[in-house]
Amino acid sequence: FSGAAPPRVHSTSLGDMAVASAAARLKPLFDRVLVQRVDAIKKIGSVYIPDSAMAKISEGHVVATGPGGRNQAGDTMPLTVKPGDKVLLPEYGGDKIELDKVEYIMYREAELLGVLSE
């Protein structure tokens, strides 16, 4: 034993691996943002919530972003959001995409309503 600490092993869930795979396979163009919706809570304590009583989920996690939009001079304008950000989504809009049996939605950054703090 050399006295050095052993390397840390981080466990990842299958969901995390699917998101990482999608981010590696699909790079959005320009000001587009790839988002995965947050799963709805179907149970609070011991009470199950029926689908009809649940509000539409309007939050998601940014999985990947493009390099940014272009201004009139042709310069790239960097995006405000980054992968890992939790964002507030509009009720309608975006383009649904399925990768590795996981559903994502592609938005333009201007369509996102805001970034939520943790």
How far is the C-alpha of 72 from the C-alpha of 93, rounded, in Å?
Answer: 25
For 40-69, how does the pLDDT look when each residue is reduced to its tens digit (9 = 90+)?
666 667 776 666 655 666 899 999 999 999
In-domain check, residue 4: no
What CATH number is attached to the domain comprising 58? 2.30.33.40
Which residues contact residue 98 at a Cβ distance below 8 angstroms, ignoring those fewer than 6 apart? 104
Residue 9 located in a structural domain: no
Mean pLDDT of residues grouped by 10 in the chain (118 residues)?
Answer: 42 53 81 89 67 70 94 93 95 91 94 91
The domain of 102 spans 14-116
Domain count, the chain: 1
The DSSP H or E segment spanning 14 is helix 14-25
Kind and range of the H or E run holding 24: helix 14-25
What's the pLDDT at 39?
72
> 109 lies in a domain?
yes
